[in-house]
Amino acid sequence: MSDQRIDLHAHSTASDGTSSPRELVQQAGAAGLDVVALTDHDTTAGWDEAAQALPAGLSLVRGAEISCVHGGVSLHLLAYLFDPEDPSLTAALDGLRQSRAGRAQEMARQLEAAGTGVTWERVRELGSGSVGRPHLARALVEQGLVPTIAEAFTPQWIGTAGRFWVGLAEIEAVVAVRLITAAGGAAVFAHPRATARGRTVDDAVFATLADAGLVGVEVDHVDHDAQARVALAGLAADLGLVVTGGSDFHGASKPVGLGANGTTREAYERLVGAASGVAVVTA
């Protein structure tokens, strides 16, 4: 059983969430969480605001979710408690955000050319930080072309390999695990069996990533059914990896609340013990 009071996966307006970092920690406190991790896509821009707004009794784990690829398959790594000034990791994150802006601009250009009324100016307003497809999806909702953000993630619109989809230049996952680890962080494989989003990697890749320094596997996640969770927990146990969980909260753009999935205290302590880049912030 996971302790739902430790939520190690949440997004803010620094990437594609809809709560500001300040609102996010306030919501986490109001939800009764003991620990929340801020894990925006490819950025640490929300860290300071979240730390400054932390309500009493809540601990903040500063992190990021890094866009990676392995063997042609996209995957996400959660990186926790790394040094945000590490030059190599910072350069990698800067490159990812530049790629995000370039591909979002290209998707917006194609949508505009198709007469949808979506413009890059509007998408940039909606996604002023680490811009992503949810911002394009919101622009499509605004134009009345899809009823919900989720319905923009289809082959007809901006679903992976869809009509208006443009790929992101991602970091090789083994390289990313090494970069995170060298920056004092702890790397966790995010939602490895989120099959609805596209292809996922084979079991053998977990051992490859573990050899590179991977610390944990995100088992308890909304995109994993009970069977996937059992299989992943088995893989993690075989490789001596920490089992984590989190809500993958995105505010109003996804129907999942803070604390919807969580991490046990024991697993949390192992994870924190594996990192040395920055400390957990307590209020």
Interface with ligand AMP (CB under 6 A): 16, 41, 132-134, 149-150, 153, 168, 197, 250, 254
**75 CB contacts (<8 Å, ≥6 apart)?**
68, 69, 173, 189, 190, 192, 200, 201
C-alpha closest to that of 244 among 118, 41, 78: 78
- Can you give the binding site for Fe ion, defined by CB under 5 A? 16, 76, 190
What phi, psi does 114 have (nearest 5°)?
-85, 0
Q: Which is nearer to Fe ion, 16 or 49 (CB)?
A: 16
Q: Smallest distance, Å, CB 11 to ligand AMP?
A: 7
Q: Smallest distance, Å, CB 250 to ligand AMP?
A: 5
**Cα angle: 160, vertex 11, 189; to 5 degrees:** 65
Figure out which of the listed residues 248, 263, 271, 278 binds Zn ion, where binding follows CB under 5 A.
248
Segment interacting with Zn ion, rule: CB under 5 A, options 24-32, 42-50, 59-67, 120-128: 59-67
Residues 264, 3 contacting (CB under 8 angstroms): yes
**100 CB contacts (<8 Å, ≥6 apart)?**
41, 42, 67, 130, 131, 132, 168
Q: Which is nearer to Fe ion, 16 or 170 (CB)?
A: 16
Joined together, the tokens standing for residue 246 give 């989190």
Q: Smallest distance, Å, CB 122 to ligand AMP?
A: 16
Q: Which is nearer to ligand AMP, 127 or 185 (CB)?
A: 127
Segment interacting with Zn ion, rule: CB under 5 A, options 48-56, 60-68, 146-154, 231-239: 60-68
Q: Smallest distance, Å, CB 133 to ligand AMP?
A: 4
Angle, helices 87-113/173-182, rounded to nearest 10 degrees: 140
**193 CB contacts (<8 Å, ≥6 apart)?**
200, 223, 224, 228, 231, 232
Q: Smallest distance, Å, CB 114 to Zn ion?
A: 29
- For residue 84, the partner it binds in Zn ion, Fe ion, ligand AMP, none, with Cβ less than 5 to 8 A by kind, is none
Joined together, the tokens standing for residue 247 give 């809500």
- For residue 24, the partner it binds in Zn ion, ligand AMP, Fe ion, none, with Cβ less than 5 to 8 A by kind, is none
How many residues at the interface with Zn ion, by CB under 5 A? 2
What are the distances in angstroms from CA 181 to CA 1, 48, 174, 273?
28, 22, 11, 13
Please identify the residue of the shown chain whose CB is closest to the bound ligand AMP: 132
- For residue 153, the partner it binds in Fe ion, ligand AMP, Zn ion, none, with Cβ less than 5 to 8 A by kind, is ligand AMP
Q: Which is nearer to ligand AMP, 58 or 137 (CB)?
A: 137
The DSSP 8-state label assigned to residue 223 in this structure reads T
Residues that bind Zn ion (CB under 5 A): 65, 248
